Amino acid sequence: MAARDRYSKKLTCPQCGNTGIADVSEDDHPSCKHPAFSIDDMPAGFFEEKNSNFPETYIVRCECSRKFPFRSLTEKTA
């Protein structure tokens, strides 16, 4: 069983400016074929549009209806 790597990312909607902190996790083992990416706690105003095992293809929807890939519009939290 692989350990889970947990971290937080700040989501920012490019359309309305809505922001929030998402708590995410993924498998932290080099032999895994995919990282089993998961958003454990989605901030208010954001919703899962398309689930994926990879953060590059996990699609988030803002309450203003803007859709974007998780990885494209996130930044690390301090």
Closest CA to 65 of 19, 23, 13, 24: 13
Give the highest mean pLDDT range of 13-17, 29-33, 44-48: 44-48
Per residue in 50-59, pLDDT (tens digit) is 999 888 899 9
All residues at 6 or more sequence positions from 28 whose CB lies less than 8 Å from its CB, including other chains? 2, 3, 4, 5
Among candidates 71, 66, 39, which has minimal Cα distance to 55? 71
Residue type, 8: S
pLDDT in tens, 23-40: 999 887 767 777 889 999
Quote the CA–CA distance of 17 and 59 in Å, as a whole number: 17
Mean pLDDT value across residues 10-33: 87
